[in-house]
Amino acid sequence: MDELSRWCWRAHRYGGEYGLLFIDVDNLKSVNDKDGHQAGDIVLVAIAKALLASVRR
């Protein structure tokens, strides 16, 4: 939430166009429950890397 607030402030102050992406990862709870939160974190990092590789700077 702090990072979101910083970006909102920055967009308001300096203008420009920004986007926000909210993702609901299906079945992540079952990964956490079955394999632990560390496994869930690995899944989230993999998703983040895939998203970063798919967008322009």
pLDDT at position 20 is: 80
Three-class DSSP category at 38: helix
**Token pair belonging to 56:** 């322009």
Residue-wise pLDDT tens digits, 1-57: 898 899 889 888 998 888 888 889 999 999 999 999 999 999 999 999 999 999 887
Nearest Cα residue to 32 out of 50, 44, 49: 44
pLDDT at position 47 is: 95
pLDDT at position 33 is: 97
